[in-house]
């Protein structure tokens, strides 16, 4: 075909989103760090799903209107650095289509070049060997050869061919990829989307392998909920695995689990009682939900009933009283009731649930900012993979003056909160809180999910690893020895305080042994031991 319009782009978007959904575990597996929460694929999938949801019920023939709606959905749903960059690529893509009802191959190439420019501008320090490189090199290669006589399918063949070639070169540009022996995960996710686009251009559509997707010839529709269709009432009780990495199961993270289940239907109720999770959901895809849930444990009970439109309840939302507007508010990202309480003690108004294991979306931050009802809002992401989504939310909101304090760890977020002064002016607070981030070293201990060699350390699957910043410091069979070794590498003669935040899997015997070790070895250093109850990371460490 020589041109494409909004109807065709809509089919491409849904096909691309479904293809990424089918492949996101593969993308997750490419994450360099051997930790149990590699989530590039998950973040890109949730971001892309948000964009697809925005267009699935639209019937615009204008390609710009579809691209604009898609961009809005991506911006709101963007999670993690990869999701934010993806949203910026298609934000630029939409800008390149402004005012157009349909486009030819040249205009398609120009739109992708526009996407590349916007994405690069959105990143403070662009890193080559990533998704940015893949979109830059592939769009430039297409722009070099495209002409008005070229059909759209041929243009996409060139784009995808060059994107794959660029992806294969990423290890040469980013040494850590070469060291571990993988290509860039974000670039891989982008290619999965483009592959799905190509399938739609050829007249077919990628279907979700774990969901129900239906379409007619002109208006494809992704069916994951039960808003307009008949479906099923699914209730089940799932007994969680006690030793997930030994039993071949995944680590259960409640926020992530609820989000994925909710993306497949209307989540009515979820309850967690010790190691038993009870779910009630209305869905057109019960099989996909059960398949996903079984990754975390085994079923204790399953009940499935057919429902119709007449069975649906009507919910009415009441207007809530609006509290008086205040000068300041703090938002922090955290997971684990102990860590949440630590932030609340430091005057944090709203906790956005998330962290390494579940990156909040830009929309999550927008809702939190609005809920603050304050003139000045400071956001503490407490994770390097959340800073961009928080910043994106600040850029697109107009409710107040919202600023991100770019904390990349929980200890950084805590010391920044300590420097907040409700009597100081906003500029002074931003300066003091940002400067505080440099005063603390951060570390964490978790287990390895695969054998690898990184940062000069040989890592073995199921052993424990000590991480400082983005560097693996040590790897041992013993979690206690790993933690001791990590702290020893972090403490020096200028250290005065060790903050030790214990995860949900640390027992009292190990706690006592570690406390005794530190108190005997570091007589002149104050030890602040707290129970954070966070998942996945047995210890979070701060050294001031």
Please report, for the chain, the start and end positions of each structural domain, with discontinuous segments joined by +: 4-211, 231-308, 326-439, 444-543
Question: What does the pLDDT read at residue 263?
Answer: 63
In tens digits, the chain (544 residues) has pLDDT values of 999 999 999 999 999 999 999 999 899 888 877 776 668 998 999 999 999 999 999 999 999 999 999 999 999 999 999 999 999 999 999 999 999 999 999 999 999 999 999 999 999 899 999 999 999 999 999 999 999 999 999 999 999 999 999 999 999 999 888 888 889 999 999 999 999 999 999 999 999 874 333 333 333 333 333 344 457 788 898 988 887 766 667 777 776 677 677 766 778 888 888 888 999 988 877 777 887 788 888 888 888 777 755 444 333 333 434 457 899 999 999 989 999 999 999 999 999 988 766 789 999 999 999 999 999 999 999 999 999 999 999 999 988 999 999 999 999 999 999 999 999 999 999 999 999 999 999 999 999 888 888 878 898 988 999 999 889 999 999 999 999 999 999 999 999 999 999 999 999 999 999 999 999 999 999 999 999 998 889 999 999 9
- DSSP letter at 62 equals -
Question: What does the pLDDT read at residue 262?
Answer: 72
Q: How far is CA 457 from CA 171, 176, 353, 480, in A?
A: 19, 13, 32, 18
- Cβ count within 10 A of residue 200: 25
Nearest alpha-carbon partner for 50 in 25, 75, 80, 16? 75
Q: Look at residue 435 and give its three-state secondary structure.
A: helix
**Residue whose entry in the numeric block shows the structure tokens 């603390």:** 440
Q: Are 126 and 132 in contact (CB under 8 A)?
A: yes
Considering the entire predicted model, what is its pTM? 0.77
Q: Are 538 and 505 in contact (CB under 8 A)?
A: yes
Question: What does the pLDDT read at residue 227?
Answer: 42
**Residue whose entry in the numeric block shows the structure tokens 């979306």:** 361
Question: What does the pLDDT read at residue 37?
Answer: 60
Question: What does the pLDDT read at residue 1?
Answer: 92
Question: What does the pLDDT read at residue 221?
Answer: 32
Question: What does the pLDDT read at residue 498?
Answer: 96
Which pair of tokens denotes residue 439?
């005063």
Spatial separation of the C-alpha atoms in residues 490 and 542, rounded to whole Å: 9
| pLDDT, tens digit, 9 for 90 and up, residues 286-335 | 777 887 788 888 888 888 777 755 444 333 333 434 457 899 999 999 98
Bridge partners (DSSP) of residue 353 are 334
Between helix 410-418 and helix 426-436 the angle, nearest 10°, is 140
468: left (phi over 0), alpha (psi -120 to 50) or beta: beta
Question: What does the pLDDT read at residue 218?
Answer: 31
CATH class of 231-308: alpha beta
Q: Are 460 and 475 in contact (CB under 8 A)?
A: yes
Nearest alpha-carbon partner for 366 in 352, 346, 355, 354? 352
Q: Look at residue 98 and give its three-state secondary structure.
A: coil
Which pair of tokens denotes residue 33?
């760090």
Spatial separation of the C-alpha atoms in residues 482 and 444, rounded to whole Å: 10
* Torsion, Cα of 136, 137, 139, 144 (10° steps): 130
Helix (H) or strand (E) holding 188: helix 185-201
Q: Which fold has domain 4-211?
A: 1.25.40
**Architecture in CATH of 326-439:** 3-Layer(aba) Sandwich (3.40)
Question: What does the pLDDT read at residue 523?
Answer: 92
Question: Who contacts 143 (Cβ-Cβ below 8 Å, separation ≥6)?
Answer: 109, 110, 112, 113
Please classify residue 210 by burial: count the beta carbons closer than 10 Å to its beta carbon, then call 0-12 exposed, 13-18 middle and 19+ buried: middle
Question: What does the pLDDT read at residue 323?
Answer: 55
Question: What does the pLDDT read at residue 536?
Answer: 84
Q: How far is CA 336 from CA 134, 358, 501, 533, 537, in A?
A: 37, 12, 10, 5, 10
Spatial separation of the C-alpha atoms in residues 81 and 394, rounded to whole Å: 15
């Amino acid at each position: 075909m020589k041109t494409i319009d909004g109807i065709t782009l809509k089919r491409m978007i849904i096909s691309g989103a479904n293809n990424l959904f089918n492949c996101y575990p593969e993308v997750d597996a490419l994450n360099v760090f051997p930790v149990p929460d590699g989530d590039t694929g998950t973040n890109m999938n949730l971001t892309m799903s948000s964009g697809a949801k925005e267009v699935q019920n639209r019937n615009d023939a204008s390609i710009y209107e579809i691209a604009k709606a898609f961009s809005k959905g991506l911006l709101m749903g963007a999670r993690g650095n990869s999701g934010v960059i993806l949203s910026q690529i298609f934000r630029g893509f939409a800008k390149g289509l402004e005012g157009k009802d349909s486009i030819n191959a040249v205009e398609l190439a120009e739109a992708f070049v526009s996407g590349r420019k916007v994405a690069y501008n959105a990143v403070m320090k662009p890193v080559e060997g990533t998704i940015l490189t893949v979109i830059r090199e592939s769009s430039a290669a297409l722009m070099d050869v495209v002409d008005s006589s070229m059909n759209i399918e041929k243009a996409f063949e060139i784009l995808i061919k060059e994107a794959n070639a660029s992806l294969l070169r990423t290890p040469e540009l980013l040494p850590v990829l070469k060291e571990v022996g993988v290509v860039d995960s974000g670039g891989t996710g982008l290619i999965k989307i483009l592959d799905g686009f190509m399938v739609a251009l050829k007249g077919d559509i990628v279907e979700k392998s774990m969901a129900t997707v239906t379409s007619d010839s002109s208006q494809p529709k992704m069916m994951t909920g039960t808003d307009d269709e008949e479906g099923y009432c699914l209730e089940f009780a799932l007994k969680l695995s006690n030793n997930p990495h030994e039993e071949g199961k995944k680590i259960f993270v409640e926020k992530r689990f609820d989000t994925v289940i909710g993306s497949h239907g209307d989540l009515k109720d979820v309850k967690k009682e010790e190691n038993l999770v009870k779910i009630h959901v209305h869905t057109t895809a019960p099989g996909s939900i059960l398949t996903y849930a079984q990754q975390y444990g085994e079923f204790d009970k399953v009940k499935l009933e057919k429902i119709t439109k007449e069975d649906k309840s009507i919910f009415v939302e009441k207007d809530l009283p609006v509290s008086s507007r205040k000068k300041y508010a703090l938002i922090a990202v955290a997971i684990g009731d102990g860590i949440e309480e630590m932030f609340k003690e430091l005057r944090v108004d709203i906790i956005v649930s998330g962290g390494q294991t579940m990156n909040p979306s830009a929309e999550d931050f927008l809702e939190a900012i609005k809920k603050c009802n304050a003139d000045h809002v400071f956001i503490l992401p407490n994770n390097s993979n959340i800073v961009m989504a928080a910043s994106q939310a600040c850029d697109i909101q107009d409710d107040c003056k919202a600023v991100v304090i770019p904390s990349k760890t929980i200890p950084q977020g805590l010391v920044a909160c300590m420097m907040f002064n409700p009597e100081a002016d906003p500029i002074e607070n931003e300066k003091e809180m940002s400067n505080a981030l440099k005063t603390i070293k951060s570390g964490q201990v978790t287990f390895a999910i695969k054998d690898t060699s990184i940062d000069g350390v040989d890592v073995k699957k199921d052993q424990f690893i000590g991480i400082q910043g983005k560097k693996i410091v040590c790897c041992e069979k013993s979690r206690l020895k790993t933690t001791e070794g990590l702290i020893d590498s972090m403490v020096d003669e200028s250290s005065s305080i060790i903050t030790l935040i214990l995860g949900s899997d640390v027992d009292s015997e190990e706690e006592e042994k570690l406390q005794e070790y530190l108190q005997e070895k570091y007589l002149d250093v104050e030890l602040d031991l707290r129970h954070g109850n966070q998942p996945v990371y047995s210890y979070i460490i701060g050294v001031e």
